[in-house]
Structure 1
Amino acid sequence: MKKIVSVILILLGFNQIYGQNIDSSLYIKPNKYLLPIAKKAIRGSYPLELSFYKTTHIIFPSKIRDFDAGSESVIATVPPTITNVLRVKAGKKDFNEETNMTILTEDGGYFSFVIHYNENPDVYNINIANNLRMDELSTDSLGIGRGALSTSNIYEINQGEYSDEELRRFAGKALKQRKYIRHIGAKKADISVFLKGIYFEQKIFYLQTTLENSSSIPYEIDFVKVFIRDKNVLKRTAFQEDELKVLINYPEGFKTVKPNSELKKVIGIPFITLTDGKIMEVEIYEKDGGRHLKFQLDNETITQSKSI
């Protein structure tokens, strides 16, 4: 009996030593040799039902770079011409087990799905970018980390690291700066874009632009590309170009320029200066349209950039 009491006292002692400082916000509590996992470190997952005979399409905010499924019950493909869309369906009929899949995108996004079989799913088409507000509300309610679109993802570039949160903060500051650049831009079919300023912070350039729509048709931005190209080349002459990664197109939720109105946007790209004979070219593409815009910057303009 004395031995039993002694064991109980020892166990109670260990509980006091290792349990007294455990945070109630921890999801998995540590023992002596395990590190804790806090609720804020947990990424939530989206529920998804798949059918054997029907295909579900998931649209992601950026190009899909990697896909992994928990079992062979899930098969997926990415169309070669539309690389931000995932076609997914059940690999076998009536599978009973729960499984999962994970998608990584070019902009650093991480998306997790928990999958069940349903011959007739309620949802066949999902646009992840339109779920941002629900992600925020749900994760705040659960007390876990923010979803894939709103979490501060960390990226690496040659000059160091940057995060989504920092990009949004500095892009917001750049948007409010006074314009100082004139006469650089482009116009096509009553749609114009003008460069108003170039600002930098933490090895990132922020291009402040204004899009003007003088037509009676809305203009919706599909995507933006930035290239470093040879300055003077003849047609049919081979030339070298390097694409710069667009880190942010801010504000992210505003992509439509209404008729007879304007929209201010900030384009974030990695810091770079140009060698002789090179120019930077910014291309803005209209969604489902042909009113694409293109303007160029030389090294003299780029070196006039201002700190935020």
Structure 2
Amino acid sequence: MCVRKSVTMVSITSLLLLVGHHYVSAQPVVPIIQTIEAPVAKRIASFPLSITTEQTSVLIFPSNIKSVDRGSAALLCKTVKEAPNVLKIKAANDSLVATNLNVFVADGTLFPFSVRYQQIPDLLTLDFTDPKQSDDWHPVNVSKYGMNEVEVQQFSDIVAGLPPFQRTPHSNRIGSMRAQVSGKYYQQGILFFQFTVENQSQLPYELDFARCYIRDNRSSLRSSDLEKEIKPLYVHQVEGNTISPQSQAQIVFAFDKFTIANNKHFSVEFFERGGDRNMRIKIKGKQILRVRPLLPYLSDEYSNQSFNF
């Protein structure tokens, strides 16, 4: 079948070349100018926002504010510590020239505003947790091809509830405690490590902190060259950071994708608060490569369930 198809393609190509030769011979030579159209940018409408100097406008967003870009220094903006999804804004003076404001929030959404001064604004409090604000305006999803912070947290919480599919590598048993890698997943540039921590003792285990780093296998190197600490994007921990006696718990770390050379290893350490039952797991580079794609796995394991993201 493949041979017949190849012969057919060669025949068609030869025929087209022959026809083209006769056509070109019969026509005058005309220079060809290829026109390439520039891509047309999608126009995004900005939400009209009026502010004043004597009163504070309050904007409420669906998730925590990550960044605020002001078009003018005359825009005075401040986030609220107790409510990180709330932005307070007012004008520095009444001569504020029309400008713009862009607010980036943790769910990967951009809220663009066109700002102008108005002595008495029409609205002082705007709630953007309601997705339906206007027929001709909507926020912009700027994380279309990546995973935003909220999604990383949601996926980590889901991974914590998945059944383990491996039991190694694991730490040494310290005081009836042991930690092991029970799952590794990858999705949209994010690595998820699922750890199972077993407490077979009669005392609760209180997790103080965990430390993750890439370490060189050659101990003769200087300490500055020996290891590189890696900060997780998110950690799903057990409630109260406490593992009850005769029980176990799942802890999930989410990292930006990384790989390591054969002469290095990825090390994860768990430290006990007020105790010495500290555990360390060494993960080789080839073990990191053996991950499962998260979404197809979820589809197979939970085909009858739905998840809201």
Structure 2-normalised TM-score? 0.48
Structure 1-normalised TM-score? 0.49
